[in-house]
Amino acid sequence: MRLSRVALILVPYLWLLVLFFAPFLIVLKISLSDAALAIPPYTPTFKDGIAALISELDFENFIFLTEDDLYWKAYLSSFRIALVSTLLTLLVGYPIAYGMAKAPDEWRATLMMLVILPFWTSFLIRVYAWMGILSNEGLLNQLLIWLGLISEPLTILNTTAAVYIGIVYTYLPFMILPIYAALDRLDTSLNEAAEDLGCTRTQAFWLVTIPLSKNGIVAGSFLVFIPALGEFVIPSLLGGSGTLMIGKVLWEEFFNNRDWPVASAVAVILLLILIIPIVLFQRNQQKQQEAEE
């Protein structure tokens, strides 16, 4: 093996080992340590050798997590919020992707750019934009009162509903793009054939278009669900104190309570929960690739 090839492999490899893999092991280790006045070093340390390390590890922090119902409520509510907002994003995103796929060819590049543009715009600012709209004196309430639909302002900001709006808004491009890619490849003659054989347009849509765009729907749903599960910015700006999400709990455990071992344990469990959708996603991608080959 030539030296240059070794160097080429080693540089990115070592970088990731030191700055991605090792930190993850540290989190794992601290999650199994005793809180020693919330400052390092934690017991056990690596200095005393592996045997001492293993004998001193304890699951105290994980047991603590099961005893306080705040944590499992937060996991459960994150899961529910991520799931519901993924479905909402699909409901909003599918018609847009469908409209794009049916648009005249000369519009498509522009429409595509209009979908991607918000992705390049700051995430934080896009979430912040909703704070002014959803507040009690905000534009949405002003509009609803002016229309005579309500007489008293609704409380939307600082509720879970605001978190749904925030997630749907910021993750919408992730849903639209894969569905558009699937619909764009679709052969319209299949729909025509279905209509010739007696389907109505709506039936053809449900029986032909939706099943053929399944891959796009699945990919888009994972692309929204996975990051939404660990979301921190949206619940802390739009959600108020009543919205429990695990990313926010981890942040507060770390920065407000300074309980590092518990924060690390929260992180480890979050990762374990995330592994399931990620593995499912990878399987789906693999199947798709095999189908294409």
Partner 1 sequence: MRRMSWFNVTSLTLGFAFLYLPMLVLIIYSFNASKLVTVWAGFSTKWYGTLFQNEAFLDAAWVTIKVAVVSSTLATVLGTMAAYVLVRGGRFMGRTLFSGMIYAPLVMPEVITGLSLLLLFIGIGLDRGVLTIVLAHTTFSMCYVSVVVSSRLVSFDRSLEEAALDLGSTPWEAFRLVTLPIIAPAVISGWLLAFTLSLDDLVIASFTSGPSATTLPIKIFSAVRLGVSPEINALSTIMILIVTIGVVTASLVTKRNAVRAQKDARKAERAEA
Which residue, 1 or 197, has its beta carbon nearer to partner 1? Answer: 1
- Within 180-219, the residues that bind partner 1 by CB under 8 A are none
Which of 36, 38, 40, 76 contacts partner 1 by CB under 8 A?
40
169 binds partner 1 (CB under 8 A): yes
Find the binder of partner 1 among 55, 66, 121, 286 (CB under 8 A). Answer: 121
Single out the segment in contact with partner 1 by CB under 8 A; choices: 49-57, 60-68, 80-88, 92-100: 92-100
Verify binding: residue 138, partner 1, rule CB under 8 A.
Answer: yes
Task: Say whether residue 172 binds partner 1 (CB under 8 A).
Answer: yes
Site for partner 1 in 246-265 (CB under 8 A): 247, 250-251, 254, 260, 263-264
The DSSP result for the chain, as a single string, is: --HHHHHHHHHHHHHHIIIIIHHHHHHHHHHTSB-STTSSPPBS-GGG-HHHHHHH---HHHHHHHHSHHHHHHHHHHHHHHHHHHHHHHHHHHHHHHHHHHS-HHHHHHHHHHHHHHHHS-HHHHHHHHHHHHSTTSHHHHHHHHTTS-SS----TTSHHHHHHHHHHHHHHHHHHHHHHHHHT--HHHHHHHHHTT--HHHHIIIIIHHHTHHHHHHHHHHHHHHHHT--HHIIIIITTT---HHHHHHHHHHTS--HHHHHHHHHHHHHHHHHHHHHHHHHHHHHHHHH-
CB of 250 to partner 1, least distance (A): 5
By C-beta, is 79 or 118 nearer to partner 1?
A: 118
